[in-house]
Amino acid sequence: MSYKIPMGPYHPALEEPYKLDLICTGETVTDAKLHIGFNFRGIEHLAETRNYIQVIALMERVCGICSNIHTLTLCQAMEGLTTLTPPPRAQYIRVVMAELERLHSHVLWAGIAAKLMGFKTMFMTCFELREKVMDILQAISGNRVNYSMNRVGGVNRDIDDPQAVLKMIDALEAEMVRTVIPIFTTSSTARSRCKGIGVLTHEKAISCGVVGPVARASGVGQDIRKAAPYAAYGEMEFDVPVQPDGDVKARLLVRALEIMESCKILRQALTKLPPGELFIGDGKFDFTKMATTTSTSRVEAPRGEVMYSVSWKEGSRNPARVHVRTPTFAVMPAIRWMVLGARLADTPLIQASIDPCYSCTDR
């Protein structure tokens, strides 16, 4: 006999509201349906009522964790409208901020995953590390969540003391190597909860069009930083971790390895930080003389590819259309395939293993 178990929209295993209707036979999940939109905010529509300065502040609120990524992608798209190229120092600072945000996001996710595994001490360790990353972000930008770093044509703030940031990166990496990565990769608790569960096959990952660490954990080696480099990523040397198994362990491993790669990128960007201006021009942008009326930008956010399409009517202060394709919107439908055949008790961890952001999805 099969029965339906609703998980959400408000549930202890979910950080934000969405609903998973699980159809079960005994303890085994045989089908699942997802429901989103509980906090849909209509930000895309709201963006059409904001001018070119206000819209940056608005889009920063799409996501609470990768807020910087949203302003970066938007600003890059707006720069495409006006053919502005930010100065080299700004491009490097954008890389630093993007990688710090990736560290923040991945460490936060590791903590939540540990909590769902019943590994509370690891949860505390990860959140302690996350605090260190947030301290760096605060030291650079003055803010802990919405950093207000990006502007059209460059960045708003400089990194005054790269050496101090480097020291913090060293400390963070040492702690990751000493505790988090060995425990996640070798402990029997983590292995027993993660290995072989929530599998998304390579074929299904391709047909669902999943992105980011979820795709890479199913053997799809795509990363916009490599495939279509933006900011200063073309000058950075780093690897894109790919795992073939497609299970929760593979997703965990990919993110753990990405933390190490982020540290590598940060070290390069901070060491080679070129001198010069933070933004081009005098900070005023003439949207009455545009090179094109529609521009698109893509960025590799911590959860995968973000794409912004920005359309502007010449002479208008407001955008005509801002469309945001967030990574969770692309990845979330695949949860249905991950939970098929899984034990009911594993479903909270399986859905968390995509690192879902409902804020992004309900943009």
Smaller CB separation from other proteins, 187 or 309: 309
Strand segments, DSSP code E, in 258-303 are 294-301
- Give min distance, CB of 118 to other proteins, in A: 32
| Residue where the block lists tokens 């943009």 | 363
Q: Does 40 bind other proteins (CB under 8 A)?
A: yes
- Give min distance, CB of 330 to other proteins, in A: 7
For the chain, report the end-to-end CA distance as a whole number of angstroms: 38
What is the rounded distance in angstroms from the CA atom of residue 274 to the CA atom of residue 93? 10
Smaller CB separation from other proteins, 39 or 143: 39
What is the rounded distance in angstroms from the CA atom of residue 258 to the CA atom of residue 252? 10
Binding track over 309-348 against other proteins, x by CB under 8 A: x-x---------x-x-x---xx-xx---------------
Smaller CB separation from other proteins, 36 or 270: 36
Q: Does 177 bind other proteins (CB under 8 A)?
A: no
What is the rounded distance in angstroms from the CA atom of residue 30 to the CA atom of residue 3? 10
Of 194-223, binders to other proteins (CB under 8 A) are 206-209, 222
Cβ-Cβ contacts under 8 Å for 229 (sequence gap 6 or more) = none
User: Strand order of the sheet with strand 294-301?
Assistant: 294-301, 304-312, 319-325
Q: Does 36 bind other proteins (CB under 8 A)?
A: yes
Q: Does 351 bind other proteins (CB under 8 A)?
A: no
Q: Does 82 bind other proteins (CB under 8 A)?
A: no
Number of chain positions touching other proteins (CB under 8 A)? 35
| Backbone φ/ψ region at 27: left (φ over 0), alpha (ψ -120 to 50), beta | alpha
Question: Before 229, cis peptide (omega within 30)?
Answer: no
Which residues are near other proteins by CB under 8 A?
33, 35-37, 40, 45, 77, 80-81, 206-209, 222, 224, 226-228, 292, 294-298, 305, 307, 309, 311, 321, 323, 325, 329-330, 332-333
